[in-house]
Amino acid sequence: MRVDASNLLNRLGRQDFSYKEFEDRFTELELWPMLEALLKDPRLLELDGAAASGAAAPAPESLPSAQTQAAEFVPTPPRPAAPPAPEPVATDSISALFRRYEGPNAAAAPAPPAPAGSGQDVRAMLRHLSELGSRGEI
Amino acid sequence: MALIVCHSPKGGTGNTFLAAHMALGLAEAGADVTVLSMAAHDTLPFHFALPPSTTLSALHASSEDSVVVSGIDLRHARTAPKDPDFIPMLKDLGYFQTGRDRTLILDVPSCERNLARRLVNHACAHLCALDTAPETLALLPQMFDEAGKGGLSRTSFVINRLDDTRRLARHNAAFVRELMGPRLIGRIRLDESVPESIAMLQTLARYAPSSAALADVRRLVDIVLPALDTDISIWSGAKSSSYAA
Ligand SMILES: Nc1ncnc2c1ncn2[C@@H]1O[C@H](COP(=O)(O)OP(=O)(O)OP(=O)(O)O)[C@@H](O)[C@H]1O
Ligand SMILES: [Mg+2]
Strand spans (E) along chain B = 2-6, 33-37, 57-58, 67-69, 72-76, 103-107, 125-130, 155-162, 184-189
pLDDT tens digits, residue range A87-96? Answer: 343 334 555 5
Mean pLDDT, rounded, for B84-93: 89
Tell me if B12 CB under 6 Å of ligand 1. yes
Neighbours of A113 (CB within 10 A): 10
Mean pLDDT, rounded, for A16-36: 67
What pLDDT is recorded for position B211? 95
A94 vs A50: CA distance, rounded Å: 11
Check residues B59 and A73 and name the one with the higher pLDDT: B59
Domain boundaries, chain A: 30-45+83-138
Q: Is B196 on the interface with A (CB under 8 A)?
A: yes
CB–CB of A63 and B238 under 8 A? yes
| pLDDT cut 90: percent of chain B above it | 68
Beta strand B103-107 with B33-37 is: parallel
What pLDDT is recorded for position A106? 40
Tell me if B132 CB under 6 Å of ligand 1. no
Nearest to B194 by CA among B162, B156, B171, B241: B162
Ligand that comes closest to the CA of residue B129: 1
Strand spans (E) along B155-239 = 155-162, 184-189
Tell me if B160 CB under 6 Å of ligand 1. yes
- In this structure, CATH architecture of domain B2-237: 3-Layer(aba) Sandwich (3.40)
> A66: which chain B residues are within 8 Å (Cβ-Cβ)?
242, 244-245
Nearest to A138 by CA among B174, B180, B244: B174
Confidence of residue A4 (pLDDT cuts 50, 70, 90): confident
| B107 CA closest ligand 1 atom index | 22
pTM for this structure? 0.77
pLDDT tens digits, residue range B92-112? Answer: 887 887 766 789 999 999 999
pLDDT tens digits, residue range A92-135? Answer: 455 555 555 444 444 333 333 333 444 456 667 766 776 766 66
